[in-house]
Amino acid sequence: MIEITFPDGNKKKYEKGISVAEILKELPQRLQQDALAAKINDKLVDLSFKPTINSTFEIVTFSNSKGEENKEGVDIFRHSTAHLMAEAITELYPYAKLTIGPVVEEGFYYDIDHEPFTPEDLEKIEKKMKEIVDRKTPIVRDEITKKEALELFKDNQYKLEMINELGDAEETISVYKQGKFVDLCRGPHVSHTGKIKSFKLTKMAGAYWRADAKNKQLQRIYGISFPDKKDLRTYLHNLEEAKKRDHREIGKKLDLFSFHDHGKGLPFFHPKGMVIWNELLDFWRVEHKKAGYVEIKTPLILNKTLWEKSGHWDHYKDDMYTLKVDEDDYAIKPMNCPGGMLVYKDKLHSYRELPLRAGEVGLVHRHELSGVLTGLFRVRAFHQDDAHIFMTKEQIKDEVLGVLKLAEKFYEKFGLDFNLELSTRPEGSIGTDEQWELTTNGLKQALEGYGKEFKINEGDGAFYGPKIDLHIKDALGRTWQCGTIQLDMSLPERFDLTYEGQDGQKHRVVMIHRVIYGSMERFMGVLVEHFAGKFPLWLSPVQARIMTVSEKFTEYAEVVKKKFEEAGIRVEIDNRTESVPKKVRDAQIQYIPLMLTVGEKEQDNNTIALRTLKGEVKFGVNVDEFIKIVKENISKRELEFKLE
């Protein structure tokens, strides 16, 4: 007999040899239907697995009771879909040679040695996949010897290469079979092909074997899958919507920024883009001043000895740009932290000054590989809205809570929700066990005090301390890691940062590194896609456009324009000889929030005709009263503009 312990703590004895699938029959029907695999003693296994010792038991599903995706379940489901696609390919194209088919963030892919596929080929593959799903072919795990594996895959040089990298001849190698199709795999997988009902092959690309240009180019087919057709439809809809919201396309359309070969990964901001940039920066400065921060500025280039002292030279050198100055080694800063340490250390500090909150929107450079550069999302030069908070151990919880509340205030202003993740000590970290325990517990207590659910990522902290990551959620439900709060006792130790306590003695200061935007560039890119270019009034590069019915009303339009400008509203005139509908359409294409038309009636009555980007129309609007409404909306940085 073996004893199985369920997630709720209940225990039950079973005969040895019982499978997970048989245990599952005693659980609720819905859980039986949703089960993809299981965790036995925290190890992922197939439903056919038979535990032989007393074990903890947990079912793995695609999503939890709240509808949130479970990464382990998603990976199992999508990797099973990759095998489904691979089987379809081998049935349709027997001479195709399979290589690898992993799960990735956007779904899954398989690399195949075959001539380039066409869109028509993808349709055939999808059709064949549906046939295989209808067969409900069992997916069976088998353990074979290395010798057997070499014989099984003797006609596939890619599989042979991988097999030869796997252990000794005595060790077994796992393979998965579904009908005649067999593939190398660690697993686990779903129990049969009929589980995979909803999928779509999304795109094709070329890829070199082992990502080495010296090797043969393979054909990569990407796909996505879900247990529910409704979820697939939503995903595909969001994919199309995401294409429409691509910040690179909108940025070009609205003349916000550009990229050039003379500086790959280095964005050029245009006048309209700088309007948004400065509005974001002004908001940052106003709110940080209210929250008790001071602002500093540190140099762009600093001596190698500083980076050695901070630990960045050992942990980050490959991503840093270096240069010689007067025969000395220097580096362009990849982070603002060491400069902030020097500012703090420049004078003695008393406990009465703490916490000391010092912010810096500093330009940093990192040598990102050219293949990963993506618009404003991945660049080589960017501005981090850093702040370093110097404090006592007793102030940790309150200061972390303060940052969380400040971040919430920021994200709410843009209509962004966020999730929290706590990342703990990684391999290769610096600092003592005692320091890591104190800092990790400090962050955990602050999160518990904040009251919002959080997830723990074991071993994913910074090399100098644990961190809280804030993942914002945009209008399409996509998440972006922007804000972070990192608690650090290691750098204060390295830089000998102290304060004079009430006892007159020197004490080691504790420090928080934190950002809210993350980087100005990336956050701006996120906002472009979140708002689809239709920014709130306070962020819009052009807030109002005055359109004349004919050229003879230009003088009145100039009078109205002057009033708006004196009120600090960004406004322009369109007095072209085009029709009003054409002018309105052009303004809508440029996402101008307020479209004001002036003609004879408006000139005679000192009014304007108003149309908003949302399609609201109002005639006979008093100019002075309207300006008051607009000014109030802008001053409050409202998300929506309301006439009343």
Ramachandran region, residue 48 (left: φ > 0; alpha: ψ -120 to 50; beta: rest): alpha
Where b means 16+ CB within 10 Å and e means fewer, 195-232 reads bbebbbbbebeebebeeeeeeeebbbbbbbbbbeeebb
- From the candidates 185, 288, 337, 435, give the one annotated as an active-site residue: 337
- From the candidates 46, 333, 380, 384, give the one annotated as an active-site residue: 384
Q: Are 618 and 609 in contact (CB under 8 A)?
A: yes
For residue 415, CA distances in Å to 78, 194, 472, 635, 639 come to 32, 41, 10, 17, 7
Report the C-alpha dihedral over residues 44, 49, 51, 57, rounded to 10 degrees: 50
Where b means 16+ CB within 10 Å and e means fewer, 86-119 reads bbbbbbebeebbbbbbebeeebbbbbbbbeebee
Sheet containing 544-548: order of strands: 571-574, 544-548, 594-598, 607-612, 617-622
Across the chain, which distance is largest between two alpha carbons, in Å? 96
- From the candidates 39, 78, 220, 513, give the one annotated as an active-site residue: 513
d(CA 189, CA 180): 16
Structure-block tokens of residue 557: 């339009």
Q: Which run of H or of E encompasses 265? A: none
d(CA 472, CA 467): 16
Cα angle 630, 636, 639 (rounded to 5 degrees) comes to 80
Kindly write down the DSSP assignment for every residue of 457-515, as one continuous string: ETT-SBTTB-EEEEEEE-TTS-EEEEEEEEEESHHHHHTT-EEE-TTSSEEEPEEEEEE
- From the candidates 366, 380, 522, 545, give the one annotated as an active-site residue: 366
Active site residue 270: no
- From the candidates 425, 467, 514, 561, give the one annotated as an active-site residue: 467
d(CA 644, CA 628): 12
- From the candidates 388, 425, 545, 561, give the one annotated as an active-site residue: 388
Q: At what angle do helices 554-566 and 623-635 cross, to 10 degrees?
A: 40
Active site residue 469: no
Count CB neighbours of 500 within 10 A: 15
Active site residue 337: yes
Q: Which run of H or of E encompasses 435? A: helix 433-450
For residue 565, CA distances in Å to 283, 542, 543, 556 come to 20, 12, 11, 14
Active site residue 366: yes
- From the candidates 75, 183, 386, 469, give the one annotated as an active-site residue: 386
Q: Are 557 and 598 in contact (CB under 8 A)?
A: yes
Active site residue 513: yes
Rg of the chain (C-alpha set): 30
In single-letter form, the type of residue at position 596 comes to: L
d(CA 494, CA 488): 11
Residue 206 CB-half CA count within 13 A? 8
Q: Which residues are catalytic?
A: 337, 366, 384, 386, 388, 467, 513
